[in-house]
Amino acid sequence: MTGRLHPDRHADLLVIGGGIHGCSAALHAAIRGMSVIVLEKDSVGRHASGVNAGGVRRLGRNYAEVPISDYSMQIWYRIADFLDDDCGFQIAPQIKVAESDKELETLARRAADLNAMGFTHEVILSRDELRAHLPAVSDHAVGGLGSLTDGFAQPYKTTFAFQRKAQSHGVRFHEGCGATEVRRKGDWIVDTAEGTFRAPHLLNAAGAWAGALAERLGERAPVEGIAPMMLVTNRLPHFCDAVVGATRRPLSFKQMPNGTVVIGGGRRGRADANANLSEILFRELRLTAETACDLFPIMRGANIIRSWSGVEARMPDDIPVIGPSARHEGLFHAFGFSAHGFQMGPGVGDIMAGLIATGGTNAPIAPFSIQRFAA
């Protein structure tokens, strides 16, 4: 497509939301020859994309997400060449620990299901195999489920790398530029404090604020704002090379190259999307720390040196909205990643750009239609 520009106000595609999904879609659309403007009410990576755990994982995903997650992983493996920045990406095993035989049986059924779907990246680990990967794990752990060629990256660094690469392809970013009104009159028209922007295509990638935008346009999207919490400890002697979760307890655990340990995984603070704020709840954060200590006794001597949270979008079924509007031509959605969207950012951005540019996609996005909430 050829760009139709009118000084900083007119493009082929407007993207509302400067998280990893918005930045990725903008970059991939620009690579396809589209002119793109990104409107971000705060700053790029301000909330979910900048404050998550950085897990680059296929492990444990909803079955509907697995094909897209696997596709996105192939982009992660070449991320340094693609973005001219390594994004802090490291290949590392992602392991879900089983603390009982019953949990291990549950994990084995999942691995069998994925094999039947044609995916072999998740494998059962025996007690000995688990300890080969996690020598410091607690004695009570009986085994686990591993995706051994997943990894982790640095969220802010990654999101900014997508922004910089998009800018190098001509994408224009307007930060501190929230959408005050959105309407369609031939083109999509978005009013902001900086003025009015126009484009024939509009991508709603506004995270926890995307549901309100969709509903203003007549599409039900029951987005809940949540506040996943993270903490980081002081530096410890090296003891873990994997990213670790638990089967029945929320946990995301990894030791960074500098020896600090980053812990999160599902305990939530208090989110107020209207006020653009999140609040840490220390009683919940304490439970996260206790789970880490239960699985890794070495953690009992660690000190917490920092904690943080951000506002994330959660859908009732814990899977995102990805795809075209069910009501409006030229409107597309990519939001509601429910605290596990970071890894999918490269792949979803490519899929959305292809869908917007050509009107179709071979990607299996039907389960993510916004239409599922229409009733």
Amino acid, res. 348: V
CATH 3.50.50.60 placement within the chain: 13-52+156-222+317-373
So what's the architecture of 13-52+156-222+317-373 in CATH?
3-Layer(bba) Sandwich (3.50)
pLDDT at 191: 95
CA distance 298 to 257: 17
Q: Give exposure, 356-373, as e/b (b: 16+ Cβ within 10 Å).
A: bbeeebebebebbbbbbb
Are the C-beta atoms of residues 335 and 17 closer than 8 Å to each other?
A: yes
pLDDT at 2: 37
> What is the SS3 assignment for 339?
coil
Ranges of the chain with pLDDT below 70: 1-7
**pLDDT of 217-244, one tens digit each?**
999 999 999 998 889 999 999 999 999 9
Q: What is the pTM of this model?
A: 0.94
**pLDDT of 308-343, one tens digit each?**
888 999 999 999 999 999 999 999 999 999 999 999
The DSSP code for 65 is G
- Non-local CB neighbours of 243 within 8 Å, separated by 6+ positions: 55, 57, 92, 93, 94, 95, 150, 151, 152, 252, 253, 254
CA distance 131 to 196: 58
CA distance 191 to 199: 12
Q: Which of 239, 231, 233 is nearest to 302 (CA)?
A: 233
pLDDT at 375: 75
pLDDT at 7: 59
Domain 93-149+228-309 - what CATH class?
Answer: alpha beta
**Distance in angstroms between the alpha carbons of the first and the last residue of the chain:** 36
CATH 3.30.9.10 placement within the chain: 93-149+228-309
H-only helix segments in the chain:
20-31, 48-51, 66-76, 79-83, 101-117, 127-133, 155-168, 210-216, 282-295, 345-358
- CB atoms closer than 10 angstroms to residue 102: 11
